[in-house]
Every structure is written in C-alpha cells, then in structure tokens.
Amino acid sequence: MNFHKIKSVCYRLFAISQYLFFKIIGLSPWSIEASDIITRNRRIESHSFKCSFSYVGMGYNIIFILVTSSLNIYGFYYTASIEKVHKSFNIFQRTFAFCSSFGIIFIVLFITIRQKFFINFINHLRNIDKNLRTCTDYDIKYDCTNDSIFASNLIVTSALAILRQLFTKTKLFLFMSLPNFLTTWPLIHYTILINIIKLRLISINSMLSKLGTTKSKVSQSRELILKDLDSIKRAYAEICKGCDQIVALYGIPTLIMILIYLTKTTHSMYYIVIELISPQKIDLAVYGAGIVLLFPIYIFVLLTSSVAKVVKENKETVRIINSLRDRFDMDEEIFEKLMKFSSQLSYLTVEFTCCGILPLDRDLLMIILSTIVSYLVISVQFYIDLSAN
C-alpha cells in the first residue's frame, strides 16, 4: 500500500470520526451517504457529503436533551444542598454550569428543529462543486486546517475535563465538566463550515487569476473562457447565498456561546485579580484559572480568523476581476461578460454577523475585550468598596 492510499484511508477514518463525534454531541442529527466515504471520491476532501433527514438522529437528540436536562437539574439541586468553604464561588459555579448546560441543550434543540435548513446548506455545497467541476482549471486544494482545529479542540477539552476531575474529585463530574466540554463545539462546528466556504472561494480566485495566462488550460480557447466565466459566476452567487444561510442558522447559537464565554471569562479574571490583590498566599488555582483563560481566546481567534479570510477572498475576487478586464480589453464579448460580473460583485458580498448585532471578524475580539474590562473594573471596584467598609 503506497503513501497516497494510506493517506486516503486515514482521512476517511478521520472524516467518519468527526461526523460520529458531532452526531454524539447532537450537532449533526442528519445522516450522510456512506458511499461518499467508503468509495474513492474527491468530494471527501472538500467535505461535500450528501446529507438527508434522519428520524434516528432526531430521536437520539431528543433523548440527549432529556438526559442532559435531567442530569443538569439533579446536579443543580444536589450541589445547592452542599455547604462548601468558598460559598460565593460555588454559587456562581453551580449557577453557571446550570445555565451553560441549558444553553447547550437549547442549541441542540435548535439544530434538531432546523436540521432541514442545515441539510439544504450542506447539499448546496455539492451543487456548487458540481458547477465548479465543469470549469477546465478547477482544482480545490484540501488542507488540514479543519482536521487540526477538530483534533486540537478535542485534545484540549478532554485534557481540561480530566484535570478538573483530578483536582476537584467531585462526585458530580459530568454536571461540572459537561458545560466546559460542550460549549466550544458549536463554535468549532461553525468555524469548520466557514473554512469549507473559504476553500471554494480560494479555488474560484485561483481559476480566475489563471484566465488568459499560460497557467490556464483554456488560454487559447475563447469559447471555454466564456463557458468557465459563466460557471464561476453562478458558483460565486451560490456561495454568497450559502454564506447568508449559514449566518442566519448560526446567529442564535453563536450569540449564546458569546454570552457564556463572556460571563465565564469575566468571572475568572475577577477571581484572579481578587486573589492577586489579597494579602493571603496565592492559591495554585489562580495559575490554573489563568491558563484556562487562554482557551476561549484560542476559540474566538479561530472563528474570527476564518471569517476574516473569507472576507479577504471575497474582496480579492473584485481585484482579480478588475485585472481581467485589463487583460481582455481587446475581446469585446469577454470584456462585456467581465463587466457584468464586476457590476454584480457589489451585491455578491459576504458578511458574517451574530444576529445582525455583532460582527464576527476581528472587531469581535475588541468588543469582547472592552466588555470584559468594563465589567471587571466595576466588579473589582465594588469588591474594594465592600472590603473598605
């Protein structure tokens, strides 16, 4: 078995693992066509699976919601009956775990109810690929970005859950660890879908930049250039439509995740600052809280970076089309088609927002940071005033 066959087998196993994992945690209730993974098919490398509605997946998600809700309610009332030394801290931990779990439950319920819309989006990608494959220079280059994101997040969240159990040794391990483990995955799932869109835009820009050059297979064929431009224009319009669909679908889940992480990070920083300014010896838990703070930053950097790259590729298309107009200014028909494409690009823009409220580019990081700092300053000042009295 040569290297390429081994790589193909490993990738197929990894693709199955990703799908099964997201299905277990309730984020992929739909079913996929197994032949796309078992057979040799380039659609695997571009994550273009044929999806269909699954009553089994819907039933599993309902059971998942009921079990998680029952565990959440039991854990909340059980911990409320236990007296601990740091009572105020435990009240927050208990309430936060309870609310975070129900936030995740709501997201799973939301995806279960609207799974047909998610299926339409994923199958929409297949139609885009089918359109692009008619282009002579079509070539989508698969990278390991999504696999790396998935693997790294799985390793880190699992490690944090294990460390939490080793240091706290609580009987309610699932109640305390489930929110911390699951809250990252909706954003990771969203980031993976955004990166899939990014691959299509990169492929389109690559094909456009080759037109009229020696790198293109259709450099001497005027008819093929016209045909490819039509196919690319249709695919580009479909990609922009797909972006609008996924933004609408993930608006509410993303807003919930932002609120959860905003609350968690603000409290963790408050705890660290209070421990640092107190005269007592610094607890080792402070260092642990500081390290854990890096993880939400990593998640949001991944999301905003992926969004920024898609927006960049969208703007790059405008620049390439303008350069093609200069390249084909002597061919009236091609030039006219490029002019129409260029005029349509002003409407074919991608914009990622959270419910139309927050931008999901790098401005989101500044908004989150300023919000955390504002609440942190108010909380610490309130603590100092209480201590003085």
pLDDT in tens, 297-340: 889 999 999 999 999 999 998 898 888 888 877 777 888 888 88
Is the confidence at residue 42, as pLDDT, over 80?
Answer: no
Residue 358 phi, psi (nearest 5): -115, 135
- Contacts of residue 205, Cβ cutoff 8 Å, sequence gap at least 6: 313, 316, 317, 320
Checking if the pLDDT of 234 tops 70, the result is yes
DSSP H or E segment with residue 353: strand 353-354
Residues 6+ apart with CB under 8 A from 330: none
Token look-up 């999504």 returns 146
Does residue 108 sit in helix, strand or coil? helix
- Cβ-proximal residues to 162 (8 Å cutoff; 6+ apart), any chain: none
pLDDT tens sequence across 135-179: 877 777 777 888 889 989 888 888 877 777 676 655 555 556 677
CA dihedral 282, 288, 290, 291 (to 10 degrees): 150
Instruction: Give the pLDDT confidence of 171-213 residue by residue, as tens digits.
Output: 555 556 677 778 888 999 999 999 999 999 998 888 888 877 7
Strand partners, 52: 31
Least Cα distance to 210 among 135, 311, 314 occurs for 135
Nearest to residue 108, comparing CAs of 186, 191, 19, 188? 186
Q: How many C-beta neighbours within 10 Å does residue 99 have?
A: 16
Instruction: Count how many residues are written for the chain.
Output: 389
Each residue's pLDDT tens digit, 250-290: 999 999 999 988 888 888 888 888 877 776 766 666 677 77
Compute CA distances 282 → 18, 91, 247, 274, 275, whole Å. 41, 21, 44, 10, 6
- Using the Cα atoms of residue 315, residue 320, residue 325 and residue 326 in order, give the sign of their dihedral: positive
Sign of the alpha-carbon torsion through 20, 169, 294, 366:
positive
- Predicted pLDDT of residue 119: 87
What pLDDT does residue 81 have? 67
Torsion sign (Cα): 378, 380, 381, 383? positive
Instruction: Compute the distance between CA of residue 15 and CA of residue 246 in angstroms, rounded to an integer.
Output: 21
DSSP string, 140-170: ----SHHHHHHHHHHHHHHHHHHHHHHHH--
User: Distance between terminal CA atoms of the chain?
Assistant: 75
